[in-house]
A and B are shown apart, each in its own frame.
Chain A
Amino acid sequence: MSDNQLPLWEVFIQSKTGLPYKHVGSVHAADAEMALQNARDLYTRRNEGRSIWVVPSDAIVASVPEDEDSFFDPSDDKIYRHPTFYEMPKGAKHI
């Protein structure tokens, strides 16, 4: 029989309020509710999270690794976006 393992969902967990959601892995589930429950059972058995996102894997759009260089190139030569670019007069503090 062809794939009967139910659709794939990617799981993101926030461990504490104030922290970003982090990708932890995936689960198989028939619908969103089941995906959430499976993600809870699988990835938060020891209070690792206080909030979970599940996203159908095929809904994720990702940049292509082969294009990494050209894709991120526009930011390469803009060193003036970093504070170290600027010369501060001697004696200036807390800046």
Chain B
Amino acid sequence: MENLKLEELFQEKLDREEKIEPKDWMPEKYRKHLIRQVSQHAHSEVIGMQPEGNWITRAPSLRHKVVLLAKIQDEAGHGLYLYSACETLGISRDELNEQLHTGKAKYSSIFNYPTLNWADIGAVGWLVDGAAIVNQVSLQRTSFGPYARGMVRICKEESFHQRQGYEIMAEMAMGSQEQKEMAQDALNRLWWPSLMMFGPHDADSPNSGNAVKWKIKRESNDELRQKFIDKTVDQAKVIGLSIPDPDLKWNEERGHYDFGEINWDEFYQVINGNGPNNVKRLAHHKRAHDEGEWVREAATAYARKQTIKKNVA
């Protein structure tokens, strides 16, 4: 069949809200777009373990420690679900790793910010996971089957992540004066980067045209950002913290909060590798990967030996 005809059928299928499965025909550009997006998503889950892992040994109580461990373990799982979905598009795990290491594939910029103290762990769970949830809930309806199914699984696990973060923030916000200041400071530093997680404004978003047509993206960056703001502002009020935005105010007519302009300069600086921790995050990932080489080798050698034994016996 002609490619043009195939592409027409493909679009009709999408318009009927049918999912695309790995072996179905798809335009090369659709495949490329998904590999880029799903791998970036997977890398974000995995790199995102670093700023949190930074605090496991210093968690203030055993309860906090087991919770944080479980949360970070989930993030490793999320990364693996997503790599698994991405591999069905015909790219190997090795290539995915290599693209991360060479900088060809990106990950969410938020993870290039440091976690300076325990309040930051609260703010990460509350804001960063909170923003991720808004995005991921929307992606449960994305058109590529394995990606959509991965999102359903991930969303089920995420709500505990946000709640544990919010619980930490609430504990601190209602604690001593010093703790409250720490909580407010963490919110001050992480608020704007969290809003940036949704990407550029719709008008400046270079990748969204086809993504919308192909139903990879179901809601726009600005729509998702607004959803996140609307629910988070009220959560901040409940625990007596204030959002660091003088322009933030309820707009009766729109039924949404208006908010101030985002510093896109900072956004592009961090994306392009000049964030506070870009170099460190990648170096750490590479080192962990290289240091695991002998484990993979040993496992392969053991498996080979077992097969030989079985064949001889």
Q: Which residues of A contact B (CB under 8 A)?
A: 1-6, 8, 24-31, 34, 42, 45-46, 62, 64-66
Contact between A5 and B93 (Cβ–Cβ < 8 Å)?
Answer: yes
Secondary structure call for the B interface: helix
Q: Which residues of B contact A (CB under 8 A)?
A: 21, 23-25, 73-74, 77, 80-81, 84-85, 87, 92-94, 97, 146, 149-150, 153, 157, 293, 296-297, 299-300, 302-303, 306
Question: Does B92 contact A3, Cβ atoms closer than 8 Å?
Answer: yes
Whether B94 contacts A31 by the Cβ 8 Å rule is no
Q: Chain B residues with Cβ under 8 A from A34's Cβ?
A: 299, 303
A15 to chain B, nearest CB (A): 13
Known: A3-B92, A3-B94. A65 touches B23 (CB 8 A): yes
**CB closest residue in chain A, given B77:** A42
Q: A4-B94, A4-B293, A25-B150 are in contact. Are A31 and B84 (CB under 8 A)?
A: no
Selected from A25, A27, A29, A65, the residue in CB contact (under 8 A) with B85 is A25
B74 — which chain A residues lie within 8 A by C-beta? 45
C-alpha gap A34/B73 in the complex (Å): 18
Given contacts A3-B94, A4-B293, contact A65 B302 (CB under 8 A): no
C-alpha gap A25/B297 in the complex (Å): 24
Given known contacts A25-B81, A25-B84, A31 and B73 CB-to-CB distance under 8 angstroms: no
State whether B94 touches A5 (Cβ < 8 A): yes
- Nearest residue (CB) in B for A31 is B303
Q: How far is the CA of A27 from the CA of B293 in the complex (A)?
A: 17
Q: Given known contacts A6-B300, A31-B303, is B93 in contact with A45 (CB within 8 Å)?
A: no
Assuming A3-B92, A5-B296, A8-B87, is B25 touching A30 (CB within 8 A)? no
In the complex, the chain B residue whose C-beta lies closest to that of A8 is B87
**Ranked 7 nearest A-B pairs via Cβ:** A30-B299, A31-B303, A30-B303, A5-B93, A25-B84, A26-B84, A3-B94
CA distance A26 to B292 in the complex (A): 20
Give complex CA distance A67, B21 in Å: 14
